[in-house]
Amino acid sequence: MSGKLLRFYPLCILTNLICLFLAGCGRNSSCAEAPAGEPCLRILFIGNSYTSVNDLPNTLAHLAQSGQHYMETGMAAPGGWTLADHAVSADTLQQISAQKWDYVVLQEQSQMSASIVWRVKTMYPAAAVLVEKIRQNNSQPLLFDTWAHSNGWPEEHLNDYAAMQNQVNQGYLEAARQMDVPLVLVGYAWASVRLQNPEIQLWQADGSHPSEQGTYLAACVFYAVLYQESPLGLKYQAGLSDNEVHALQSAAEYTVLGIKQP
């Protein structure tokens, strides 16, 4: 995009672009595009760069469209933020109440969910505040069970991926139990792909953030949860290879629906 064109953008559009690319917030699609009478899900994602990198909400919206569904997504996901940051953020709380969302997704910072001390001290209390706000808006909260770092978290004696993933899972399972909130088991699908298809790189080089394949896997899991339909066979591929797409869609199908491909 040229600087000449950019100078003629209205201020509101520039603000939205800056918000989306630097702070990880904004809206990616609109129910106004859905034909009259067609159902359309409105979903707000609250988290950090695990959500905003590769634009998970937009990837999910493309998958939904591929499955002949309509979806509107919003995102509040500044890099590095915890649920505790969101719980005291006027901007996040305003987004929750800005409209009637069908679902609001909560994604905790990866180390918080893996630490017994920090999830009790900050994750659970913050999640409880956000869940209450979400329910007051007559929306359904969802918890986004994420993936561990590829090499674990040795500083906290979680010396490999499996040890850290176990703690991440335990953190989200307990939060779901305490608050009676459904879980979206992306971390479980991640472990399945890592075991069954280790050639697929789910992480970026930093061993923390998702690759395009990792984001696509997460979107497939969300698709299966939200629609209770298999993502297997959806045509939207996000630029990935046929083999990668089949493996990622299959892992999401099995994780959510219990259908294992031969």
**What predicted TM-score, i.e. pTM, was given to this entire model?**
0.88
- State mean pLDDT over 154-171: 97
pLDDT at 9 over 80: no
pLDDT at 24 over 70: no
What DSSP designation does 147 have? P
CATH number of 37-257, picked from 3.40.50.1110, 3.40.50.2300, 3.40.50.300, 3.90.1150.10: 3.40.50.1110
In degrees rounded to 5, what are phi and psi of residue 196?
-85, -30
The pLDDT value recorded for residue 6 is: 30
- State mean pLDDT over 119-146: 98
Distance CA 221, CA 22 (A): 26
Going by pLDDT thresholds of 50, 70 and 90, the confidence category of residue 33 is: confident
Min mean pLDDT across 13-27, 48-62, 108-122, 171-185 is at 13-27
Mean pLDDT of the chain: 89
H helix intervals, 8-123: 11-18, 49-52, 56-66, 83-87, 90-97, 110-114, 116-118
The pLDDT value recorded for residue 28 is: 55
The pLDDT value recorded for residue 30 is: 73
Domain boundaries, the chain: 37-257
Residue listed under structure tokens 């917030």: 25
Q: How far apart are the first and last CA of the chain?
A: 46
The pLDDT value recorded for residue 38 is: 81
Going by pLDDT thresholds of 50, 70 and 90, the confidence category of residue 26 is: low
The pLDDT value recorded for residue 262 is: 58
* Longest Cα separation, the chain: 55
pLDDT at 1 over 60: no
pLDDT at 231 over 60: yes
Share of the chain above pLDDT 90, in %: 84
- State mean pLDDT over 46-50: 98
The pLDDT value recorded for residue 199 is: 97
The pairing of strands 70-76 and 103-106 is unpaired
The pLDDT value recorded for residue 59 is: 98
Q: Are 230 and 182 in contact (CB under 8 A)?
A: no
Q: Are 39 and 16 in contact (CB under 8 A)?
A: no
Going by pLDDT thresholds of 50, 70 and 90, the confidence category of residue 5 is: very low
The pairing of strands 140-145 and 183-185 is parallel
